[in-house]
Amino acid sequence: MPVPELPEPAHHDVDSMLSRKFGKEIANYFSGSPLNRVSFLRTDHAFLTAALKHPSTSFLLFNNLQPLAKDPTQLDYVTYDDVRTIIGDNPYAKSEADLVAEYNSRVTIPQLIFLGLDETQKSDFEWTIYRGSPFFALDVTPKGSITAAAEELIGKMKSRGPHFIEGRMHTSLPAPSAAVYAQARALLDWNSRNPFCGQCGQKTLSTNAGTKRICPPTDMAALAEGSVIGSAIDQKPTDRPSCATRKGVSNLSFPRTDPTVIMAVLSADGERILLGRQKRWPKYWYSTLAGFVEPAESVEEAVRREVWEESGVTLGRVIIHSTQPWPFPANLMIGAIGQCVPGKEEILLKHDPELEDAKWVKLEEVREALEVGTSGLGEEAGPRYKEGGLRLPPQTAIAYQLLAAVTGDFLAAKKGDHANFRSSVVRDAEQELLAGLAQIFYSLEMNHQAHESKPKTALPSHLLNGNHAHSAQHSSPLRRTSVNAREREKLTASIIASNSRRQAIDLETSDGIPDGQSHATGPTLGGHEGDVEVDAAPRDPRDEPSRPPPSTAGRPASPYTQNPPIDFDGLSWPSLGTRERRVATPAQSRERLQKLEGAITTILECIGEDPEREGLRGTPERYAKAMLFFTKGYEENVRDLVNGAVFQEDHDELVIVKDIEVFSLCEHHLVPFTGRVS
């Protein structure tokens, strides 16, 4: 029998903050129903009446909890006309209050359950704002006063070809059908298990379209034998004994769901998985451990307790992976992944004798078994399975999903460390980020090559101001040469005058300031007494200027003339680190890169990451290279950067500056940035 595909989780293709952080939601078999349950309409008998008789309505029949199907992979549905002989014309014709008042325990009421609306099917059924094909489930098991009608309907169905398929789980159905079957079976089973009141022991009545049971205060059964609901309205029913469920707010009973934990257990080194087997299971067949959650117990506590009781192994960190409804009879399997505490891995089966055996299995062996050795209980393994190999549950079981997660990309573990649990979406995002950076580098390189490939003008570069193409269109070569030459002479004169008394920076001294000079006596903004000083102490000793330059002779004092924007080397009085970076040899550049890699590694460790895990091993190097690329402006000559477009403060002619690329660093947040002036 082919294994059905698993359902897709709701809105799986929509990007969200939660998906990016925790990964794609996992939907297990028996979940992913196509029905909108519209549970708030279960008390609306007008709605139920309309849904019951609509031509698009489907009824799924059960006989002793066995569903009607064409074959093990396809359910079969019937219409209202097919079931009318059992349910009557309209079981929702009267209100719940009237049904309770006329309750007769002698009369067998067929168990009918409203499942929901299938909004994926085209249907003209509409109720206010709700649309879709209605689905019901009906128990046609022959019993009580409906025995004859039920047997007749069962025979009629068999004569058409469909049959009530035997078996317990029916895990060969397509995922959507399996979800509908699971809902119907669970509710029918709950109703059949609770025909009597848990408080007083008297018979109960099903209401709310099969999702609630109540203990009626009166009973018409004591009246004339053979009376049916509504036939003795004028007679007084018999009062039933007092029941606590009719007082206060606890006068009803709802379907129960029993939470069960099932867990994949990892060894402390993350290299092995703990598996166990029960005596009744086929030979070589193992699975994950499982157990019920007890009252006043968290899921994580239940996982640790069950693992210790069944295997003697002590768990530390526990996370929840996914859940699976399991309608046999009414469990919710809560899938978890836990990791053993170092030194607490010894298996001890003497606490709880539930398991026949438990053992640690290497990840690689589990991966292989997931490929070739899966099957349901009582089923043969696949054709690739070799006798003696490990056997595991099929894909439709949540145990399979847990094992696939810890042996796949859900988990990143390094020997000797605790396992790091990460979602596949986070890893995909990391790869997308790296791909994005690579695309940025490629684009920048293409732009750089395109810039270099531009035809060069015949004029010397030092004569160019701004965009030479624009200048060529709007001025004659003779005038352009003469104007640029004049500006260049003025700029050179300003630089020489500004630096005529500057002393060279001594990189070997502690601050590079020549003897006999002090920042305390530096010039003020504007050069007048009482103005704000511009020589406040720098934040980094390497940023100390060599000496505040004097004003340019014959020019008004200003921050620009007192501190010219460029130095002779074009680095604007750079710090020691910048000079070292500019003149570094290839060996020194490699050493700088390694030093930066070490710093990034330290950052990752400090924020709680493991730089040695698979996804991060190359990150420090990639980040370091990216940081150096985005800050390469530190080692670029200013005159080269602006293409010679540097002018004196009093320049009063139009200047066009284009295609200036900027690579720098926000010193406040240490965030690199890049851009283009165009």
Q: For the segment 653-670, what is each residue's pLDDT rounded down to a tens digit?
A: 666 666 667 777 676 666
pLDDT at 34 over 60: yes
Q: How confident is the model at residue 456 (pLDDT cuts 50, 70, 90)?
A: very low
Single-letter residue type at 288: T
Least confident of 298-302, 344-348, 403-407, 461-465: 461-465
Q: How confident is the model at residue 12 (pLDDT cuts 50, 70, 90)?
A: confident
Q: Which range has the top average pLDDT, 209-218, 609-618, 636-645?
A: 209-218
Per residue, what are the HEC states of 105-161? Answer: CCCCCCCEEEEEEECCCCCCCEECCEECEEEEEEECCCCHHHHHHHHHHHHHHHHHC
pLDDT tens-digit readout, 187-246: 999 999 999 998 999 999 999 999 999 999 999 987 755 444 444 445 689 999 999 888
- 8 A C-beta contact, residue 246 and residue 199: no
Instruction: Give me the pLDDT at residue 592, please.
Output: 87
DSSP string, 394-454: -TTSHHHHHHHHHHTTTEE--TTS--EE--HHHHHHHHHHHHHHHHHHHHHHHHHHHHHTS
Instruction: Give me the pLDDT at residue 656, please.
Output: 62
Residue 490 burial by CB count (10 A; 0-12/13-18/19+): exposed, middle or buried? middle
250 vs 230: CA distance, rounded Å? 28
Instruction: Give me the pLDDT at residue 561, please.
Output: 45
Mean pLDDT, the chain, as a whole number? 79
DSSP string, 311-343: H-PPEEEEEEEEEEEETTTTEEEEEEEEEEPTT
pLDDT at 566 over 80: no
pLDDT at 497 over 60: no
Least confident of 428-437, 467-476, 493-502, 590-599: 467-476
pLDDT tens-digit readout, 55-85: 999 999 999 999 999 999 999 999 999 999 9
Instruction: Give me the pLDDT at residue 643, please.
Output: 53
Instruction: Give me the pLDDT at residue 516, please.
Output: 44
Q: How many helices (H) and strands (E) does the chain have?
A: 17, 23
Instruction: Give me the pLDDT at residue 56, please.
Output: 97
pLDDT at 357 over 70: yes
Instruction: Give me the pLDDT at residue 490, please.
Output: 59
Q: Which range has the top average pLDDT, 87-101, 475-489, 626-640?
A: 87-101
For residue 12, report the phi and psi dihedrals to the nearest 5 degrees.
Answer: -70, -20
**Higher pLDDT, residue 461 or 525:** 461
Selection from 578, 532, 527 nearest residue 552 by Cα: 527
